[in-house]
Structure 1
């Protein structure tokens, strides 16, 4: 395994959940959901724009990963608002943090398929 794969693993499995937990620190509110929604959409649009302008693919991939991480925090906030119980704060944060690691499995499958 190369250094790039080890670094990617560390970023996805340590950085992703830490960012999600940081984004989920504020109290769940409609304003927090709006901010995270705007952040997620902006990162998706910027990644598409960067690709169209000829930026490196790694930049677009990093932006899409950031959009995925922010969307996990967004879903965590939405679940907190829907459930509304005080106990939901802990388990929604845990589930959102676990969800942030899902792109790693896509990378592994793509690598296996590519040979």
Structure 2
């Protein structure tokens, strides 16, 4: 997979996933779903990372899946925080700002990958 494909996944897929996770209002059921989503993504991602340590970095499927699940957990944390802020202030302005900042936050891992690539060369 090229960096261009990763770029599209991160800068389009991440914000879309964040938007999907924050579609409903900040209800108790939405918080439970977000907590479950985040915990599952983090648990699966960390299991792939540390449970299959001998394959990490050598097997594209294990490494790519692990990174995707860890990133999913990151997006879940951002969505949970956005919903918590929206619970405190239900106005349009808060909804708009949490949507913008949360969508931008989903792209943070790209800058880590780009920085690691610069240091490796």
User: What TM-score do the two structures reach when normalised by structure 2?
Assistant: 0.83
Does structure 1 residue 101 correspond to structure 2 residue 107? yes
| Structure 1: runs of 5 or more not aligned | none
Cα separation, 1, equivalents of 2:117 and 2:13: 21
Aligned Cα root-mean-square deviation (Å): 1.6
Q: Using the TM superposition, give the Cα deviation of residue 36 of structure 1 relative to its aligned residue in structure 2, in angstroms.
A: 0.6
Q: Give structure 1 regions of 4+ aligned residues with deviation exceeding 3 angstroms.
A: none
| Structure 2: runs of 5 or more not aligned | 56-60
- For residues 1-115 of structure 1, what are the structure 2 equivalents within 5 Å? 4-51=2-49, 52-53=51-52, 54=55, 56-115=62-121
**Farther-moved stretch of structure 1 (79-88 vs 48-57):** 48-57
Cα separation, 2, equivalents of 1:86 and 1:8: 32
